[in-house]
Amino acid sequence: MPKEFRTLIPLEEARSIVLSHAPRSGLEAVPLPEAGGRVLAERIVSGMDVPGFARASMDGYAVQSIDTLEAREDRPISLKLVGGVPMGAKPEVQVGRGEVAEVSTGSMMPPGADAVVMIEYSQAEGDRVLVRRPVFGGENVQAAGSDIALGEVVLFPGTRLAAREIGVLAALGRETVSVRRLKVGVASTGNELVRPGGHLGFGQIYDINSYTVAVAVQDCGATAIPYGILPDVQEEMARVLQKMAFECDLILVSGSTSAGAGDMVYKVLDSVGETIFHGVNLKPGKPTIFGLIDGKPSLGLPGYPTSALTVFGELAAPFIRRSLGTKAHGYSAKGRLAGPIRTEGRQQMLAVGISRDQVYTVDKGSGSITTLAGADGVLEIPSGTEYLEKGTVVDLKLYSELEVPDLVVAGENSAFIERLAEDLPLQIRLMNTGSLRGRMYLEDGVADLACVSGLTEPPAGTVLIKGYQRELGLIYRDEAALQSLAGSRMVGWHRDYSLKSVFERVLLDLGISHPKYVRAAKTHSSVAAAVSAGWADVGFGEREAAAEAGLRFKPVMNDEILFLARPGWLEDPAAKSFISALRDLSRD
């Protein structure tokens, strides 16, 4: 006798049940070429400067900028050509007053030079070069560590590794990277299925779901392990499902989940495991089944391609993301229905297209894979809704996903904010820009929050959010550096940071008006790393940075970190989560 669907549980209840069985992911180290799409499991701190040396950013001539001050188009300055610096080679020349050296884009800057005159504004004449335009110090030069500085935190656990992140890891020389691991077994069922490329007999079709579901698994950051096509033979299906349970963290099997006489998955689940629910009040997706096999969660997806991917998106994808500690992000859009829609009153995920702002249905039935090919997204119709009028404004979930951060914070760097970004269940992008540029990014809509220091009144059109107190002081290795502070090599701060002027005031109070800066930092961890590596003797930053690097710290002052936001943003869920976590951590 065929089994009957007596009770169809709501989608929300089904999702809650499935998520309650999500395990914690494991860890594995993978080669960098294989890490794309995976979820980072470690905090990536730069162990080097990128670039590792000052280099020319234009073709031309390396000069001492002071020599070019009086250069004009009609009154060029003549300088002596002392040689050149080939790409990838150590300079064998030194640039003195009145001298230049030929360089190419990417060449290491020769000692003595502090700028590059572009080739367009110069002219070689034998062993002399005519310079027709002045340059300032640092012009057309990429300083060491200007891209990524030693000790800078560049990636956080939970980050999806896409081309940009792989590029950062490659720039740091990483050969392998630690990622979160979730093994998902994927199989299709049905005697009528044939793998693509095989011979089709009468009544047979090519297997679609093994491939689409596996790609969907990988898109979520997990590892898909294919088990092929399972025949509709109870003993054989049971054997393979138990093997999948032994080798994987999640079992996904599509087809044969309905209640007909030939459907097999529910029978196998009853015989070798435990059925938790069978039947969801969702169209497409009614015959979805979930249970446990040897304690491993097993989700039976409908056999029709559209149904299988719809249920995957509603149940399997949240399960995978919960285990891996990531969050779904995608495109959404509003539009108006181009025509009326009638439904069965059951919760429905309807495939639709959108042109301009007009939304039209493309649903050819859950058995059609071309439904997905012609659709731009999905319109979710709640349970109990039987009719939608033409012109109704609707929200769409679009298929093309985009990794959009929940929150962008620009401004001052802080170990406290880095800890928030790592601990909060939000995708947070930190932009270490300094207070001034942070406020500009907030005004331009680039950032949601500006992290600022040294502010007394909020600018017009912004809301001030109280932050926390931090202790700032001198970071050093040994007492000798403090005893001869005037001659010590120092780590300064980038000019956009409020800490640049704060540090200079501190040094003036100590009687030092011309500090010997050897580099400029954008993060506190970079300050500490430079001192720890012996590149500098003294730096200025947070106590936490010194402690983490095992360095000494002399407190100088307390500083208050504040946040600026646009008024309407405070109602955003991400805003509420961030502010709540900010309050909790600042009390610790």
pTM: 0.78
Q: Which CATH number fits the domain that encloses residue 70? A: 2.170.190.11
Q: Which residues contact 257 (CB under 8 A, 6 or more apart)?
A: 263, 265, 266, 278, 287, 288, 289, 300, 301, 302, 303
Q: Which CATH number fits the domain that encloses residue 220? A: 3.40.980.10
Supply the pLDDT for residue 549: 94
Distance, in Å, from the CA atom of 222 to the CA atom of 325, rounded to the nearest integer, reads 11
Average pLDDT of 49-65?
94
Distance, in Å, from the CA atom of 576 to the CA atom of 588, rounded to the nearest integer, reads 19
Q: Residue 2 falls within a domain, yes or no?
A: no
> In this structure, what token pair is assigned to residue 48?
């080097």
Supply the pLDDT for residue 402: 37
Supply the pLDDT for residue 104: 96
Same domain, 267 and 382: no
Domain boundary among 142, 165, 196: 142
Same domain, 354 and 422: no
CA distances from 115 to 36, 91, 102, 134, 143 (A): 38, 15, 12, 10, 10
Q: Which residues contact 43 (CB under 8 A, 6 or more apart)?
A: 153, 155, 156, 157, 422
Per the CB < 8 A criterion, the answer to whether 489 and 475 are in contact is no
Mind listing the pLDDT tens digit for each residue in 224-277? Answer: 999 999 988 889 999 999 999 999 999 999 987 655 545 678 888 888 989 999
Of the pLDDT bands very low, low, confident and very high (cuts 50, 70, 90), residue 359 is confident
Q: Which residues contact 456 (CB under 8 A, 6 or more apart)?
A: none
Q: Residue 538 falls within a domain, yes or no?
A: yes
Same domain, 351 and 275: no
Going by DSSP bridges, is the β-strand pair 44-45/516-521 parallel, antiparallel, or unpaired? unpaired
Q: Residue 1 falls within a domain, yes or no?
A: no
What is the domain range of residue 356? Answer: 337-398
Same domain, 39 and 167: yes
Same domain, 384 and 420: no
Same domain, 432 and 523: yes
What do you get for the CA distance between the two ends of the chain, in Å?
A: 63
The number of distinct structural domains making up the chain is: 5
Same domain, 168 and 131: no
Average pLDDT, the chain: 88
- 132 has pLDDT over 60: yes
Of the pLDDT bands very low, low, confident and very high (cuts 50, 70, 90), residue 421 is confident
Q: Residue 330 falls within a domain, yes or no?
A: no
Per the CB < 8 A criterion, the answer to whether 391 and 432 are in contact is no
Average pLDDT of 513-538?
92
Q: Which CATH number fits the domain that encloses residue 546? A: 3.40.190.290
Average pLDDT of 338-345?
82
Same domain, 279 and 232: yes
